[in-house]
C-alpha cells in the first residue's frame, strides 16, 4: 500500500509493512499467459512471430503474418499456496476462468515493393493473474500483533488518542481497549502503553484472499522487408484490477481470564486498486537463413496511474461483549508508478523441416521501479535496496506430426530480490491442429516458486515461508482469411 490513512507509513502486517515495494514488484511481474501456442512454448517467441501474444513481447513478429487472423483464448487458472508456520503446514486453493487473449491482425500486401506487406494488429493479452488464497495458523507463545501496535503507539500522548489524533492503528487499539496507558505505581506514564492481551499461549490465524489481474490492450504495426527483416512496434495500454482481503485473528487458548477478560482480537484489511498505464515496445527479427532467425526487442517502462481504496477494522472480543473500530480512505488515493525497462534477445531454428527450437533471454532491473508521487522517497529507497537486476530464460520446442503439432516449453524467471532466491520455474506442454483456415491449440502450464508472508514486523516474528503452485489450462481457437 502506498499511503495509509492520515498519511501513516508505519507497519503492522505484511500489507502495511512492505506494501510499497510489494505493489511495485507485483505490477512489474508478468506470467506465462496469452494464447495456448505461446504459453505451451514457454513464451519463447521473440524470434518466431506470427502469434498474437508475441506482440506484447517482440512486436516485430507481426510482420510474419501473411493472412488476416482472429484468435480467442479462454483459460482456467488453479492456484495452490502452502504455508509453513512452525510445525503447521496448511494448503489453500483458488481457481477462476479468464480470457487469455482476444486479437485481430490485418495484413496488407504491398506489390512491387521491397516491403512485402504492412500489418496492423489490435487486441488484448492477459499479462498476470492475481487470484490467490493463503491460510496461516499456529500457536505462538512469544509474540503478538499487539506488541507491534504498542511499538508504533509509544510516544503518542494519551490526550492525542482521546481526541482521535495519532496513527490509525493506535486509534483502533485504544478505542477497542486493546491497549492501556502504562502506570508506575499510581502515576500514569504518558506516551507509554501496555497490552490487555496475553501472549503466553495464543493461536494466530491469518487468511488472505486476492483476486484480479493485469491485462494489456495492444495496438501493433509492422512489416516485412524482402522477407529478411521484420520490424514492428506495439503501443501497450495495460490495466490493473486488484482486490485483497485479509483477516488476522489471535485467540487466547487458556480458560483463565485476563485482567480485562479479553479473549480474542480480529484485525481485517480490505484493499482494492485499479490502474491504467501506457508503454511502447519496439523490435526486430532478422532471417539469417531459410531455417534460422534472430530477434531483439526493447520495452519502455510502463507509466501507471493507480487509484486505491483501503478499509481496516479492529475488533476485540471480551468474555461477555465485543468492541469494533474501523477506518478507511474518505476518498480514493491516487499515485503514479513507473515499472522497469525490459530488453530481450532471441533465436530460433528448424530441424528436418518439422522440428522447431526457440530460445529467448530477457533482462530486467526491478530496482529501477519508482513512484512519481510526492512523499515517496522512502519507498523508492527501499525498492533500490531490496530488488536487483535479473534475467529470465525461455525455451520452447514444436514438432509437426501431422495432423497434430506437439509443443513443450520451459521458463526460468530470476529472483527480483537481492538477498533472497524467489525465482520461479514454468513447465508447459501443448498440442494443436492447423487446418490452414482455422486452428485449435491446447496448453497446460505449471508454474512453481517460493515466497514469504509477514504477519507483522520482523522485530517480533519471522516471515512465514510459502510455496506457490499455479496450474493454467488454455484453449485457443483461431481463424484465417
Q: Kindly give the confidence (pLDDT) of every residue in the chain, 481 residues in length, as a single tens digit, with 9 standing for 90 and above.
A: 333 333 333 334 333 433 478 999 999 999 999 999 999 999 999 999 999 999 999 999 999 999 999 999 999 999 999 999 999 999 999 999 999 999 999 998 888 888 989 999 999 999 999 999 999 999 998 899 999 999 999 999 999 998 888 788 999 999 999 999 998 877 788 899 999 988 778 999 999 999 999 999 999 999 999 999 999 999 999 999 999 999 999 999 876 655 678 899 999 999 999 999 999 999 999 999 999 999 999 999 999 999 999 999 999 999 889 999 998 888 788 999 999 999 999 999 999 989 999 999 999 999 999 998 777 888 899 999 999 999 999 999 999 998 999 999 999 999 999 999 999 999 999 999 999 899 999 999 999 999 999 999 999 999 999 999 999 999 999 999 8
Question: Nine-digit cell at 428?
Answer: 508447459
434, part of any domain: yes
DSSP string for 353-400: TTEEEEEEEEEEEGGG-EE-STT-HHHHHHHHHHB-EEEEEEEEEEEE
Segment holding 209, helix H or strand E = strand 202-225
Q: How far apart are CA 328 and CA 4, in angstroms?
A: 9
Question: Residue 281 to residues 16, 47, 55, 234, 284: CA-CA distances in angstroms?
Answer: 34, 15, 9, 5, 11
Please give the Cα distance from 406 to 202 (Å, whole number): 54
Specify if 339 maps to a domain: yes
pLDDT the model gives residue 255? 66
| CB-based contacts of 232, cutoff 8 Å, min separation 6 | 55, 58, 59, 60, 61, 62, 63, 220, 221, 222, 223, 282, 283, 284
In a domain, 158, yes or no: no
**Cell numbers representing residue 405 in the block:** 503439432
Is residue 430 a contact partner of residue 407, using CB atoms and an 8 Å limit?
yes
Calculate the alpha carbon distances from 472 to 93, 124, 127, 397, 406 in Å.
13, 18, 13, 19, 18
DSSP code for 332:
-
pLDDT reported for residue 12: 40
Instruction: Please give the angle made by the CA atoms of 304, 306 and 310, to the nearest 5 degrees.
Output: 155
The reported pLDDT for the residue numbered 79 is 97
Residue 56 within any structural domain of the chain: yes
Examine residue 186 and state whether it is found in any structural domain, yes or no.
no
Task: Please state, in angstroms and rounded to a whole number, the distance separating the CA atoms of residues 173 and 192.
Answer: 14
Does residue 153 belong to any structural domain of this protein? Answer: no
From CA 45, how far away is CA 358, in angstroms rounded?
Answer: 7
Confirm whether 175 is domain-assigned.
no
Q: Is residue 117 part of a domain?
A: yes
Q: How distant is the alpha carbon of residue 44 from its chain centre?
A: 21
Region of 114 please: left (phi>0), alpha (psi -120 to 50) or beta: alpha
Calpha distance 345→293 (Å, rounded): 11
**What whole-number distance in Å separates Cα of residue 252 and Cα of residue 451?**
29
Domains contained in the chain, number: 1
Task: Provide φ and ψ at 52, rounded to 5°.
Answer: -65, -40
Helix (H) or strand (E) holding 169: helix 168-175
- Tracing cell 504491398 back to the chain, one arrives at 110
Closest listed residue to residue 460, CA positions, set 90, 199, 183: 199
Radius of gyration of the chain, Cα coordinates, nearest whole angstrom: 26
Domain that holds residue 278: 5-144+197-480
CATH number at residue 126: 2.40.160.60
User: What CA–CA distance (Å, rounded) separates 75 from 96?
Assistant: 8
pLDDT at 6: 33
Instruction: Look at residue 18 in the predicted model and tell me its pLDDT.
Output: 37
Q: Residue 304: its pLDDT value, please?
A: 97
Amino acid at each position: 500500500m502506498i499511503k495509509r490513512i492520515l498519511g501513516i507509513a508505519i507497519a503492522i502486517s505484511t500489507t502495511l509493512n512492505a506494501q510499497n515495494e510489494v505493489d511495485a514488484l507485483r505490477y512489474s511481474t508478468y506470467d506465462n499467459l496469452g494464447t495456448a501456442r505461446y504459453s505451451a512454448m514457454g513464451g519463447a517467441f521473440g524470434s518466431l512471430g506470427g502469434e498474437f501474444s508475441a506482440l506484447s513481447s517482440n512486436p516485430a513478429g507481426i510482420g510474419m503474418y501473411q493472412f488476416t487472423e482472429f484468435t480467442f483464448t479462454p483459460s482456467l487458472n488453479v492456484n495452490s499456496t502452502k504455508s509453513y508456520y512452525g510445525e503447521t503446514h496448511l494448503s489453500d486453493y483458488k481457481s477462476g476462468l479468464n480470457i487469455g487473449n482476444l486479437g485481430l491482425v490485418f495484413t496488407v500486401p504491398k506489390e512491387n515493393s521491397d516491403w512485402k506487406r504492412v500489418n496492423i494488429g489490435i487486441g488484448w493479452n492477459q499479462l498476470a493473474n492475481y487470484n490467490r488464497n493463503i491460510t496461516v495458523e499456529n500457536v505462538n507463545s512469544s509474540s503478538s500483533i499487539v506488541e507491534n501496535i504498542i511499538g508504533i503507539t509509544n510516544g503518542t500522548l494519551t490526550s492525542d488518542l482521546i481526541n482521535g489524533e495519532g496513527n490509525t492503528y493506535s486509534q483502533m487499539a485504544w478505542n477497542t481497549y486493546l491497549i492501556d496507558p502504562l502506570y508506575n505505581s499510581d502515576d500514569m506514564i504518558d506516551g507509554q502503553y501496555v497490552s490487555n492481551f496475553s501472549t503466553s499461549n495464543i493461536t494466530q490465524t491469518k487468511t488472505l484472499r486476492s483476486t484480479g489481474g493485469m491485462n494489456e490492450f495492444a495496438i501493433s504495426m509492422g512489416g516485412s522487408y524482402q522477407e529478411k527483416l521484420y520490424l514492428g512496434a506495439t503501443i501497450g495500454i495495460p490495466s490493473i484490477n486488484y482486490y485483497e482481503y485479509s483477516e488476522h485473528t489471535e485467540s487466547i487458548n487458556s480458560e483463565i481470564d485476563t485482567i480485562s477478560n479479553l479473549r480474542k482480537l480480529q484485525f481485517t484489511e480490505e484493499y482494492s486498486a485499479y490502474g491504467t498505464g501506457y508503454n511502447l515496445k519496439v523490435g526486430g527479427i532478422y532471417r539469417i537463413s531459410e531455417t534460422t532467425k534472430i530477434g531483439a526487442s526493447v520495452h519502455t517502462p510502463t507509466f501507471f496511474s493507480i487509484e486505491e481504496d483501503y478499509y481496516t477494522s479492529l475488533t476485540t472480543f471480551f468474555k461477555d461483549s465485543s468492541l469494533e473500530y474501523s477506518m478507511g480512505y474518505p476518498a480514493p488515493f491516487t499515485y503514479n508508478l513507473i515499472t522497469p525497462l525490459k530488453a530481450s534477445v532471441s533465436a530460433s531454428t528448424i530441424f528436418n523441416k518439422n522440428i522447431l527450437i526457440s530460445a529467448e533471454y530477457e533482462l530486467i532491473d526491478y530496482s529501477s521501479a519508482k513512484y512519481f508521487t510526492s512523499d515517496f522517497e522512502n519507498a523508492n529507497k527501499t525498492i533500490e535496496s531490496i530488488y536487483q537486476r535479473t534475467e529470465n530464460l525461455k525455451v520452447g520446442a514444436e514438432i509437426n506430426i501431422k495432423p497434430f503439432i506437439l509443443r513443450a516449453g520451459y521458463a526460468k524467471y530470476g529472483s527480483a530480490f537481492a538477498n533472497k532466491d524467489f525465482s520461479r520455474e514454468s513447465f508447459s506442454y501443448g498440442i494443436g491442429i492447423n487446418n490452414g483456415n482455422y486452428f485449435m491449440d491446447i496448453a497446460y502450464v505449471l508454474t512453481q516458486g517460493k515466497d514469504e508472508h509477514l504477519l507483522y514486523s520482523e522485530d517480533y516474528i519471522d516471515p512465514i515461508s510459502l510455496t506457490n503452485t499455479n496450474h493454467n489450462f488454455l484453449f485457443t481457437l483461431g481463424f484465417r482469411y
